Amino acid sequence: MNQGAPDRPSSDDLRIALEEVRAAGLAALAQTDDPAAVGSLRSGLLGRSGRLTALLREIAHAQPSERPALGRLANEVRAELEATLDDRQRVVRREALQRQLAAEAIDMTAPGRPVAAGHLHPLMTAEREVREIFHGFGFEVIEGPEIETDEMNFERLNIPPDHPSRDLWDTLYVAEPGSVEAGAPRPAEDGTILRTHTSPVQIRAMKALKPPIRVVIPGRCFRYEAVDAGHNFEFFQVEGLVVDRETSLADLKGTLEAYARAMYGPETRTRFRPGYYPFTEPSVAFDVGCVVCAGEGCPACQRTGWMTILGAGMVHPVVLRNGGLDPELYQGYAFGMGLDRMTLLRYGIPDLRLLMGSDLRFLEQFSDGR
């Protein structure tokens, strides 16, 4: 007899132990309703230190003649436990999800949480209102590029390089490519600029459309100006253009008076004064009774009782010709208004920097459009 050989486990004892592991595992799984507990049972039964794993090691030391039968029984127990563990895991997960959904059920009758929605900027509200008014007059809304050439912005509007009125526009020029990086910025050779007014779109409209033309042109403009309570380097304008065979200054007067009544009220007083713009002849300034003091006189109107809201006039023959139209056959009128100033006056805002800033405490005052 070999004194050093380990005692071989009894095959009957191993069969009994395998059946006990099977019965205990199935009973424990039947009582488990928690996914984590199922995972713990899997480790306790089939893991590296599990009960069934330990029995498999003992089978390796059984009588050689008994090992095949014990191995088949062990595989049967393992397969049954694995299948039951998988099924139970699916069941308890589904039940846990159902319990969670029941506990977190949504009350469909409860009021919803308010959504923090934005609103239009006062400038955009004013622009929309101007658009709607002129749309009602039969005008079409068009737009044009914010980056223009010197030719389109000035020369085709009867403002040649040596014209004195060039001093009225402090122009922002686009730099020649590469000149900024080289440390010596200079204007682009093709005269590219940021447009100083929306008037260049007059030329584009006359070239693209056939008379009769009735358009309004909203858009941003840019000038090299110091920022203060009444000025900014970026501002908004609305341009108007009408071209036809029988257009007259009386038509311009009627259109602007109808606009003033629609915008400021039916009792609004209006007047025309002589003005000067190189692209119109004759040129006029259009005033309305001060909307702040109702014409009694205040700082906003410089105690005159009147406010200038736009400039206008009959389109200059040179501009018509530059737009591709024969001034002997066609004539037209144009007008331009500053949306920034109009918005300041309408809402009683004392400083343009408030309007163009991003302080939500200020802007939220206009959430109802008034």
Question: Are 241 and 361 contained in the same domain?
Answer: yes
If asked whether residues 142 and 286 sit together in one domain, one would say yes
Residue 63 lies in a domain: yes
How far apart CA 319 and CA 205 sit, in angstroms, is 12
Consecutive 10-residue runs of the chain (370 residues): their mean pLDDT? Answer: 57 81 83 82 80 79 79 82 85 85 78 81 91 96 94 92 74 82 74 92 95 96 86 92 95 96 90 94 92 76 86 97 96 95 80 86 76
Residues 237 and 353 in one domain: yes
Are 95 and 128 within one domain?
Answer: no
93 with 225, same domain: the answer is no
Q: How far apart are CA 154 and CA 257, in angstroms?
A: 29
* Residue 308 bridge partners (DSSP): 287
What pLDDT score was predicted for residue 1?
42
Determine, yes or no, domain membership for 116.
Answer: no
Give the pLDDT confidence score for residue 67 in this predicted structure. Answer: 78
Asked if 233 and 223 count as a contact pair (C-beta separation under 8 A), the reply is yes
> By residue range, what is the domain housing residue 213?
122-366
User: Do 135 and 28 fall within a single domain?
Assistant: no
242 and 326 inside one domain:
yes
Same-domain status, 162 and 254: yes
What single-letter amino acid sits at 236?
Answer: F
Residues 232, 340: Cα–Cα separation, whole Å: 10
CATH code, 237: 3.30.930.10
Residue 117 covered by a domain: no
Q: 136 and 57 share a domain?
A: no
Establish if 209 belongs to a structural domain.
Answer: yes
What is the rounded distance in angstroms from the CA atom of residue 19 to the CA atom of residue 27? 12
Residue 264 lies in a domain: yes
| Number of domains the chain is built from | 2
**297 and 226, same structural domain?**
yes
Residue 106 lies in a domain: no
Same domain, 128 and 93: no
Residue 4 has a pLDDT of: 47
Question: What's the predicted TM-score (pTM) here?
Answer: 0.66
In a domain, 320, yes or no: yes
- Judgement on whether residues 175 and 295 belong to the same structural domain of the protein: yes
Report yes or no on 109 lying in a domain. no
Q: Report the distance separating Cα 215 and Cα 141, nearest Å.
A: 6
Instruction: Select from 276, 296, 292, 295 the least CA-distant residue to 284.
Output: 276
A 10 A CB-CB count for 52 gives 20
